[in-house]
Amino acid sequence: MPRLFIFGLGYAAGFVARLFEAQGWEVISTGKDGTLSFDDESSVRLALADTDHVLSSVPPGREGRGEPLDPVLEAYGAQLDGKPLSYLSSTGVYGDTGGAWVDESAPVGTGRRAARAEADAMWLAREARVYRLPGIYGPGRSVLDRVKEGRAHRIALPGQVFSRVHVDDIAAGVWRGIGAPGDAYNLADDLPCSQNRVVEEACRLLRIAPPPLQSVDAAGLSPMARAFYSENRRVANGRARRVLGWRPVFPTYVEGLRALNATTSPAIASSAPPMASGDQR
């Protein structure tokens, strides 16, 4: 049985784990819901010695708190030498493009996610498959939930646009990439648009009146949310399509929200594509 080791079993990585398990892999992981403690070095090193693929979803550390730039590479980098690697990164590495399209050839490190861009580069230097992710949504974590809870906003920012991806499509992208060359891959849907359009579609599905348009200041957004609205870009997914053969099950927010609202999102196992070419396991 092939083995996947996941550093940081969070929301997206949890969907990856379930997909791999459905395909007959054993999954060992660290994190709150993982099978090992990150700090249990002897157990982690033992598990890594017999691992076929390693995925990290651990974000970069915070420099002001004296944390390492990448905790995984800092603690276990030597044990990762020669192993197939994957890393969940962010399209935030591209910074603000004023709404222009970006692909993997675009410069990185100019935005608010400088530490993320540095960590992204460190994993690429190890020939990892680096998956750059935009806004992630899925079961229990979508605009449908925010609308139901009265937390959704429509912000008056003409021209604001960004990309998103359903968590099932992230899992499928990592699966497709197992035998692919180490490189950066954008996993994003086909229809970048404003957050307002997504909120309006969610309200239509729920038969709820959309919230009023507000300025960023009037909405009382958290610093993290305000920073989110400070960047504006469209993310191209052509390389993942060409190299990985990846096709999003949810090509736009419309299909994604409809599936979530109907609670009939395709089962992970049934929507899993075949193993990427070149993998011998």
Is residue 278 one of the residues assigned to a domain? no
Q: What is the DSSP letter of 94?
A: G
Mean pLDDT in residue range 94-109: 95
Q: Which domain holds residue 200?
A: 3-271
Q: What is the reported pLDDT for 113?
A: 73
Q: What angle do CA 82, 86, 88 make, to 5 degrees?
A: 150
Is residue 21 one of the residues assigned to a domain? yes
Q: What is the reported pLDDT for 227?
A: 81
Is residue 220 one of the residues assigned to a domain? yes
For the entire predicted model, the pTM comes to 0.91
Cβ(108)–Cβ(184) below 8 Å: no
Q: Compute the distance between CA of residue 81 and CA of residue 112 in angstroms, rounded to an integer.
A: 30
Q: Give how many domains the chain has, as a whole number.
A: 1
**149: Cβ contacts below 8 Å, ≥ 6 apart:** none
Phi, psi (rounded to 5 degrees) for 31: 120, 175
Q: What is the DSSP letter of 126?
A: T
Specify which of 62-66, 223-227, 265-269, 277-281 reaches the highest per-range mean pLDDT. Answer: 223-227
Task: Tell me which residue has tokens 């920073």.
Answer: 227
Is residue 279 one of the residues assigned to a domain? no
pLDDT digits (tens, 9 = 90+) for 224-271: 888 888 899 999 999 999 999 999 999 999 999 999 999 743 433 333
Q: What is the reported pLDDT for 86?
A: 98
Average pLDDT, the chain: 91
Is residue 252 one of the residues assigned to a domain? yes
Cβ(197)–Cβ(41) below 8 Å: no
Q: Compute the distance between CA of residue 226 and CA of residue 131 in angstroms, rounded to an integer.
A: 24
Look at residues 164, 154, 234, 233 and name the one whose alpha carbon lies nearest to residue 196: 154
Check which CATH number belongs to the domain holding 46 and give it.
3.40.50.720
Residue, of 89 and 281, whose pLDDT is higher:
89
- pLDDT > 70 in the chain, percent: 92
SS3 11: helix
Lowest mean pLDDT among 12-26, 58-72, 201-215: 58-72
pLDDT tier, 280 (very low <50, low <70, confident <90, very high otherwise): very low
Q: What is the reported pLDDT for 196?
A: 96
Q: Is residue 188 exposed (0-12), middle (13-18) or buried (19+ Cβ within 10 Å)?
A: buried
Phi, psi (rounded to 5 degrees) for 184: -90, 140
Pairing, β 154-155 against β 234-235 = unpaired
Is residue 280 one of the residues assigned to a domain? no
Is residue 58 one of the residues assigned to a domain? yes
Is residue 38 one of the residues assigned to a domain? yes
Q: What is the reported pLDDT for 268?
A: 37
